Amino acid sequence: KQRDPDQPEFHQAVEEVLRTLWPFLEENPHYMKAGIIERMVEPERVILFRVPWVDDAGKVHVNRGYRIQMNSAIGPYKGGLRFHPSVNLGVLKFLAFEQVFKNSLTSLPMGGGKGGSDFDPKGKSDNEVMRFCQSFMTELYRHIGHNLDVPAGDIGVGAREIGYMFGQYKRLANEFTSVFTGKGMTYGGSLIRPEATGYGCVYFAEEMLKSVKRRIEGQRVAISGSGNVAQYAAQKVIELGGKVISLSDSGGTVYIEEGMNNDHWHYLMDLKNVRRGRMQEMAEHFGLEFLPGQRPWGLQCDIALPCATQNELDIHDARTLVENGCMCVAEGANMPSTLDAVDLFIEKGILYAPGKASNAGGVAVSGLEMTQNAMRLLWTDGEVDAKLHSIMQQIHAACVNYGMENGRVNYVKGANIAGFVKVADAMLAQGIV
């Protein structure tokens, strides 16, 4: 904290890990002796660069670009790029730190990284977004590679942005390699990658519910966000017979009392991915209630899936959810719950899954995309979905294995220890580097 006082999100992510990891480290002092923690909290490399671009009116803009290469002990750096005005070094370091544990949990050989820019794609034309992406990649291309660092999407970076960045990378590097995941299906993408984070989150929630002999069918599910993760979490919940009662964006929440149906879902996909509109339009179109400026946590629900952004669920929200009878919280977003909210969930015995476990499906299928690219073949959607499902079940089992506490599973502890051990053992084996 003294070294980087202006990085509260990074401190929060590290504190969350260390609180549960500490007793394990005390029992296993060889990790401490080798300085594993001191090394894990320091990125292997940080790249920071200028991204100049010209808007449609001819005006010059300058954004800041970043790539955090956090840890490569178990594989090439892997993690998404985020384009959002709130992006700064501390936010990306928190995301990169989380990514190290998450990627380890998938059991695939991927190290951790994260990057992005404070560029805001909202309200920009396709041409402006393309010029920005090309400028961003003109610098980043020299720092990434299919055996070095493989970026993907995150907030503000979807199929359109990945396409533009991949195109520019290929042009500069003069080769076609698997340097990005989340690619389009015409140029090396994997089936089920767009669905993977949302589906994976619901598969994980299903496993938690199964362990207490419950299921998703018939439950009221509050979802926040309306982007990639929220869209496919909603689709899977509907498929499994649950009732999706909300979606949101930074303008507010749409309340769908009767539960979302397929018409709502198709409208949402067009609204967010093609027209790039706001949730208020969806409420107006279907005559649904809109709660301006509000998050969905005041609604009565059995399951909550926060799928928007960090710290979107605080202690007040957590109390309201518990009072309203919510029994399960599975994070689709990264670190959406504040530390005190997490404490309350655990204290009250809520089935609570931290994002590094429950949203690992996205990067898992990214790993499978790299495998398919390396083999130069394409698996069917059924094959990829079955592998995703099995990985989420394995992550759940790993959390149970390491997280048992007084007859209950503490998924935070389970995920942190299980994710840590593989990376730490690889670092030990590789010496002090």
Binding site for ligand NDP (CB under 6 A): 84, 86, 153-156, 158, 197, 225-230, 249-251, 307-309, 332-334, 359, 362
Residue 398 C-beta: closest distance to ligand NDP, Å: 18
Residue 105 C-beta: closest distance to ligand NDP, Å: 12
DSSP 353-393: E-HHHHTTHHHHHHHHHHHHHHHT----HHHHHHHHHHHHH
Among all residues, whose Cβ is closest to ligand NDP? 227
387 is catalytic: no
Residue 125: how many other CB atoms lie within 10 Å:
10
Contacts of residue 107, defined as CB under 8 A and 6 or more positions apart, other chains included, come to 391, 394
Nearer to ligand NDP, 31 or 112 (CB): 112
Q: How many CA atoms lie within 13 A of 119 on its CB side?
A: 32
Nearer to ligand NDP, 84 or 220 (CB): 84
Q: List, as own/partner pairs, every contact residues 277-285 make where C-beta atoms lie below 8 angstroms and the sequence separation is at least 24, other chains included.
A: 278/249, 278/251, 279/226, 279/247, 279/248, 279/249, 279/251, 279/252, 279/253, 279/254, 280/251, 280/252, 280/254, 282/247, 282/254, 283/254
Residue from 320, 296, 150 nearest 233 by CA: 296
Residue from 20, 18, 15, 13 nearest 346 by CA: 20
Nearer to ligand NDP, 251 or 259 (CB): 251
Residue 249 C-beta: closest distance to ligand NDP, Å: 3
Residue 117 C-beta: closest distance to ligand NDP, Å: 13
Residue 247 C-beta: closest distance to ligand NDP, Å: 8
Residue 276 C-beta: closest distance to ligand NDP, Å: 9
- CA R_g for the chain: 21
Nearer to ligand NDP, 109 or 277 (CB): 277
* Catalytic residue from among 78, 93, 114, 124: 114
How far apart (Å, rounded) are the C-alpha atoms in residues 130 and 136?
10
Residue 335: left if φ>0, alpha if ψ -120 to 50, beta else—which one?
A: left
Nearer to ligand NDP, 153 or 242 (CB): 153
Nearer to ligand NDP, 254 or 321 (CB): 254
How far apart (Å, rounded) are the C-alpha atoms in residues 251 and 235?
22
Identify whether the C-beta of residue 332 lies closer than 8 Å to the C-beta of residue 198. yes
Catalytic residues: 114
